[in-house]
Copies of this chain bind each other. A is one copy, B any other.
């Protein structure tokens, strides 16, 4: 296993060529030339490693090592091959590299597994080219809605179906999910700074947060900043500041894993000497527990209405995203923790604050995720980076877990 360090660097470097953009990042959008080249190259790489390499109808790429005793029980690992525009070379991609290297290592070291091992390079997760997400995992699980993508186009007006067919892929003949997958393990960078700050080389994900997103529009009165006494104002910036300040203090008191973000704030007319007559802002709230997420945000909605009513301001609250938290498989998570403990690998059991392919698999097959640290928590950016030492620990941990799943009775 001493060569893993070198193999991680060489394999990552090799795969990063496909879609390397002029700004030092990776832009590899679904059904683009760069995307197609990457999937073809992975197919060839899997073949060279003595795997049964194949693609499905829509372009997911697989590398399979048949099991000797339970060939129909598939232990799958991988992540998505697509990137955001000008993204880094770890988000998605490293989950494929890690699964490939871990399976190759197991095959080389222990020979044929009892159960079938399979690396997957998922076609799409990010939604960076077309207004759809998780296209890869949805198709594997029989969850894809072909009608939902039949009319969508990218920013250049190219139809999803035309782009797909140009790559020689097409809709699945019948929408039926694979039922041979007995476990799905996804390795991914954390995309946050918790592991780095708390000095853990590994994270074991217990669940993926649910999210609620809102756009709130406050309507008061635009007034002259000099001639309108404080008592005669309907100042939407004051209302926003009270809402934001008080609710973030509440969220801090509730504590992890609740997070609350006011990311976008747009006052009108947005000029120094006019009291903002209108302010639009977004709320992004996440929690691993559905009830607590709903309770917190419903109380926040009430607080917004109360604060605005007191100030004579009209509030329009639009909840436009409401996603349930997705727990990982408790038994599988326990097995991973035990395995890492036995290897004396230091890890943090944690939740994921971002969405991943694993959340599509989890309701259907036993699913788990392993995180490696992100330097400064940076992701979706060419500066996205993890120390190769940490990536190596991640691949070794993944290999240990896959060994348990595929080589042990």
Question: How distant is the Cα of A251 from the Cα of B377 in the complex, in angstroms?
Answer: 39
Nearest-neighbour CB distance to chain B for A260, whole angstroms, equals 7
**A263 lies within 8 A of B225 (CB):** yes
Contacting B at CB under 8 A, from A245-272, are 245-246, 248, 251-252, 255-267, 270-272
Of A15-23, A130-138, A228-236, A339-347, the segment with at least 4 beta carbons within 8 Å of chain B is A228-236
**A226 lies within 8 A of B211 (CB):** yes
Question: How distant is the Cα of A224 from the Cα of B244 in the complex, in angstroms?
Answer: 18
Question: How distant is the Cα of A227 from the Cα of B195 in the complex, in angstroms?
Answer: 11
Taking CB atoms, residues of chain B closer than 8 Å to A270 are: 263-266
**B261 lies within 8 A of A275 (CB):** yes
Question: How distant is the Cα of A109 from the Cα of B211 in the complex, in angstroms?
Answer: 77
**A193 lies within 8 A of B284 (CB):** no
**B191 lies within 8 A of A224 (CB):** yes
Nearest-neighbour CB distance to chain B for A207, whole angstroms, equals 13
Q: Is A242 an interface residue (CB 8 A)?
A: yes
**B193 lies within 8 A of A232 (CB):** yes
Q: Is A319 an interface residue (CB 8 A)?
A: no
Nearest-neighbour CB distance to chain B for A51, whole angstroms, equals 33
Taking CB atoms, residues of chain B closer than 8 Å to A106 are: none
**A272 lies within 8 A of B213 (CB):** yes
Nearest-neighbour CB distance to chain B for A223, whole angstroms, equals 6
Question: How distant is the Cα of A266 from the Cα of B237 in the complex, in angstroms?
Answer: 12
Taking CB atoms, residues of chain B closer than 8 Å to A227 are: 190-194, 352-354, 377, 379
**B232 lies within 8 A of A248 (CB):** no
Taking CB atoms, residues of chain B closer than 8 Å to A377 are: 223-224, 227-228
Q: Residue A263 contacts which of B252, B255, B276 (CB distance < 8 angstroms)? A: B276
Contact with B along A328-369 (1 / 0, CB 8 A): 000000000000000000000000111100000000000000
A244: nearest chain-B partner, CB-CB: B241
Taking CB atoms, residues of chain B closer than 8 Å to A224 are: 191-192, 353-354, 377, 379
Q: List 14 A-B residue pairs with CB atoms under 8 Å apart, sorted by A's residue number.
A: A192-B223, A193-B228, A213-B272, A224-B379, A225-B263, A226-B352, A228-B353, A229-B257, A230-B255, A230-B256, A230-B260, A237-B262, A263-B267, A263-B274
